[in-house]
Chains A and B, each alone.
Chain A
Amino acid sequence: MSDQNFRQSTMTPKYRAGPKDDLIWHGLDSMTLLFHRPSGITHMLADPAPALLEVMDSTLLTAGEIATRLQARFDVEPGADTDDIISARLEELAALGLIAREAG
């Protein structure tokens, strides 16, 4: 994670998912495979990345709003840095082009 990403994340960027049809999911025993049609790239995802993609849609949301959706659907491991982790994961997914990011 570069300094720049942290700097950007303080400007409350918003994120949204691409079309659901862009993604082909396949569960393995310990991880989740994701084939991303627009890039032709296969990604292997560990928690909580698949859950993030699951709760997102075409609505632009802040990391905080996504965290709320996540907590509504999952028992999120309690911890003070949950929001930071979600921001970091969203930046990671955005850098791979799996979700869209717009500066706040």
Chain B
Amino acid sequence: MSTSKRKHRNVGIIGCGMSVFSSHREEVNQPEMIHEAVAEALADAGITLADVDCVVHGNMELFEMVHQPDMWHSLGSGVVGKSGLRLTTGGTTGMTLACAADNLVASGLHDVVLAIGFEKLQEGHTTGGISNMADPLWGRKLQAGALTGTTAQAMIDEFGKERACDAAMKLRIIMDEHAALNDKAHRSFGLERRYIKELTENSPPLVGELRMIHMCSQSDGACAVIFAAPHKIKEWNANPAWVVDHETVHREENVVFTGTKSTHRVASERLFARNGITNPREQLDVFEMYDPSAWWGLDWLREFLLLEGDEHLKMVENDEIGIQGTFPVNPSGGVMASNPIGATALVRVAEAALQVRGTAGRHQVPKEVKRALASGFGGTLWSVLMLLARDEPQGASQ
């Protein structure tokens, strides 16, 4: 796993599309919402449906209770007459789709692959759907979706209640400020920094110190990303974000929050070792993190960036993670702004690609982006990372 891999051929992201993200999409059905993202991705890439060879689709069946939804969704995905694959892995689904699209192009099996992540959470019961991931014989009666207060409690124990709560809320406010710059964001509340303590205290608790305001949104939405082979990128004179590498780290079925290194840290260690990254904060220019809550986002900064002690708190306290900061995190507003679960991790890849391609518009970070990192989260603390770059990677065998 830590051995250096030689990619058969390079793969670039040349088009990104997102539907409107909202909790109310009564005006479109599922394939129509998917089509919004697909049409935008094709337009962004400057190609047409005829140029696409293969469509990779993913979401979670129980959120909408549609079996093998890529069948019905072919009405909006463009897959008819083309190759198709469906992969799903939970919250990481979007990132798995990106890895799959990268594999399918790099393998030579397809030149142009369209990855589509999707969820229409308004059509089902999100927390109930997530609770269904627990074993029916032992955890399902207890599980409350993806809600847990254990990270909040651990951070309070480690850093003291006031500092931990303020840092979590500061991160939440920064994400809200970013979301205000992103036209696609589902929600931006206009949270004000001067009310940091009141915002925490006045928000209803969900589980322990995890409060409503800390939690990600519940969104309908689709994301489409187009991956292409080098000769197509040249032929179309496209503006690519190159896929450098990716790493998937799952964890056992039973959730135990302690006792091992985090999957995030392990994924980073492996990915960074393969790609010569010794100082991620220096060598990476922007990070799109799958941050399901302010507490997890805060805690995971330390894990993904291989930090120790309270460095991650300082990054937040000193505004380093802001769009103007030295290490911008989620200039899109992240998952607390928009969370159509099966699309969410693919949105992280799309947003990282937009930053690398310099096409993020109002939420483009104001510095050169040579390398961007994107993360996906799901399952029982599963982690997937993808590294994107402005310059074409060297060393592909073809």
The answer to whether A and B come from one shared complex is no
